[in-house]
């Protein structure tokens, strides 16, 4: 319970039942009182009622992608009813877009939070939006961090949800504490508010890319006399990239997909960690692997080891998934791009929330194909997705009774 925000009401708007359930469990931990809506129309009814009752919601959490009325359409209506000084709006998104920047400014969107949701990123955004000081940081409960006290405070700037999940998992296994920004603008805001030991900066991000964000950080450092190490990350490695990014003010460079040994070496070099720290990190990273079917440990960490909550989320998924899969299959068979994009997006969100990164990635590919109108590729992409799902579901079924013990 945090006195600065205790008993404040929050309107949560998300069509995904797993997300709603997760938020309904996390927000009360900080003393907030969430009220849920499953679509934009229900949200507006609740908001108008709060006006009539003279008990306005000071904070609204809006899912960006919802059927019939998306998050921005809801935000537009809310802004006509209440100014940003009275109501803060946070957008939950799995796909940040450069075209959204002007809209965010006009509507006074306080922050965008990347999906799948992580407790620390959500807490930081909520406290900032409500004008409350951030709560004191808890000691990490990650086994690697407990193994020694050398964990660094890292800022990860990355917009891709699969890359976020994998990078955070790798870094936490190395014993570090990770804060996530989904674009360059958010990275700069977080850099100004909190002390970090190092920044991992994706080059290509919406709203503001890594090179421009680095330039602005370096400009800010001219006034403070400090210098934070920044490592560039890019999936499109080309000859001369390292020199180019070093000239742009960065201190190191790694290509994606991330190779743990190279990333660890860059972090150690730039933070001057001891040989003992390197040996401990190496042992902790021995079990790292590429994108897996289902990451039990990541899922537990995402819900802060709340096994009761995890069990609830898995049961909701088990009930919802067959209906969603049928909708996707019918859309693929009809070669209906709009329906495929919508259904695949829903599936990707559900799977990402449960740290099922491989199936989430194949769902994301289906969504991208649909948005590009490449209907001829639907069959092959759906077959790959179905194969990943067939492998995943027995693992989830086995996990439900014991909540991944």
**CB neighbour class for 74 (10 Å; exposed up to 12, middle 13-18, buried from 19):** buried
pLDDT at residue 143, as a whole number:
40
Q: Which residues contact 51 (CB under 8 A, 6 or more apart)?
A: 81, 82
Q: Which residues of the chain have pLDDT under 50?
A: 138-149, 273-291, 401, 403-404
pLDDT at 240: 67
3-state DSSP assignment of residue 160? coil
Q: What is the CATH number of domain 9-129?
A: 3.40.50.2300
| Residue 340: closest CA among 380, 387, 382 | 382
Q: What is the dihedral of CA 257, 260, 262, 268, to 10 degrees?
A: 130
- 296-402 shares the fold of 152-285: no
Q: What is the pLDDT of residue 71?
A: 93
pTM, two decimals, is: 0.56
Task: List the one residue out of 122, 96, 120 whose CA is nearest residue 23.
Answer: 122
Separation of alpha carbons 184 and 232, rounded Å: 12
DSSP state of 180: E
- pLDDT on residue 303: 67
Architecture of domain 296-402: Up-down Bundle (1.20)
How do residues 262-313 score in pLDDT, each as one tens digit? 888 889 888 864 333 334 444 444 444 444 567 777 677 666 677 777 777 7
pLDDT attached to residue 3: 74
DSSP designation for 197? S
Q: Which two tokens stand for residue 58?
A: 């000071």
Domain boundaries defined on the chain: 9-129, 152-285, 296-402
Chain center to CA of 75: 21
User: What kind of fold does domain 152-285 have according to CATH?
Assistant: Rossmann fold (3.40.50)
Contact 231, 250 (CB under 8 A): yes
What pLDDT score does 37 carry? 95
- In which order are the strands placed within the sheet that holds 88-93? 33-37, 9-13, 59-63, 88-93, 109-114
- Give the Cα separation of 182 and 127 in Å (integer): 18
Q: Would you state the pLDDT for residue 307?
A: 76
Task: Say which residue the tokens 């802004």 belong to.
Answer: 79
**Which of 11, 8, 125, 24 is closest to 71 using CA atoms?**
11
**Residue 261, pLDDT score:** 80
Q: What is the pLDDT of residue 286?
A: 45
Contact 8, 35 (CB under 8 A): no
């Amino acid at each position: 319970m945090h006195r600065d925000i205790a008993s404040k009401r929050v309107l949560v708007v998300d069509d995904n039942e797993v997300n709603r359930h997760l938020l309904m469990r996390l927000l009360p931990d900080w003393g907030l009182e969430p009220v849920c809506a499953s679509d934009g129309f229900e949200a507006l009814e609740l908001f108008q009622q709060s006006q009539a009752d003279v008990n306005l919601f000071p904070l609204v959490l809006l899912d960006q992608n919802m059927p019939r009325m998306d998050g921005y359409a809801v935000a537009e209506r809310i802004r006509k009813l209440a100014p940003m000084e009275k109501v803060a709006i946070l957008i939950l998104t799995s796909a940040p877009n450069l075209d959204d920047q002007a809209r965010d400014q006009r509507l006074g969107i306080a922050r965008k939070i990347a999906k799948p949701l992580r407790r620390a990123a959500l807490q930081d955004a909520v406290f900032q939006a409500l004008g409350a000081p951030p709560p004191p940081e808890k000691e990490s409960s990650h086994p690697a961090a407990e193994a020694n006290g050398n964990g660094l405070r890292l800022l990860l700037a990355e917009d891709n949800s699969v890359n976020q999940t994998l990078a955070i998992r790798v870094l936490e296994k190395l014993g570090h504490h990770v804060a996530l920004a989904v674009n360059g603008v958010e990275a700069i805001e977080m850099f100004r508010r909190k002390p970090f030991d190092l920044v991992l900066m994706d080059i290509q991000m919406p709203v503001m890319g890594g090179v421009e964000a680095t330039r602005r950080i370096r400009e800010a450092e001219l006034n403070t006399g400090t210098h934070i190490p920044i490592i560039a990350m890019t999936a499109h490695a080309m000859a001369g990239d390292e020199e180019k990014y070093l000239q742009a003010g960065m201190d190191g460079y790694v290509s994606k997909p991330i190779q743990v040994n190279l990333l660890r070496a860059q972090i150690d070099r730039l933070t001057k960690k001891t040989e003992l720290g390197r040996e401990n990190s190496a042992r902790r990273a021995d079990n790292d692997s590429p994108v897996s079917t289902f990451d039990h440990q990541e899922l537990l960490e995402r819900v802060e080891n709340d096994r009761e909550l995890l069990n609830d989320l898995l049961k909701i998924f088990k009930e919802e998934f067959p209906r969603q899969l049928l909708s996707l299959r019918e859309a693929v068979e009809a070669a209906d791009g709009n329906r495929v994009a919508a259904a695949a997006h829903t599936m990707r969100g559900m799977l990402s929330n449960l740290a099922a990164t491989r199936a989430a990635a194949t769902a994301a590919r289906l969504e991208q194909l649909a948005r590009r109108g490449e209907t001829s590729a639907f069959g092959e992409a759906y077959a790959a997705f179905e194969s990943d799902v067939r492998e995943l579901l027995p693992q989830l079924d086995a996990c439900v009774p014991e909540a991944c013990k």
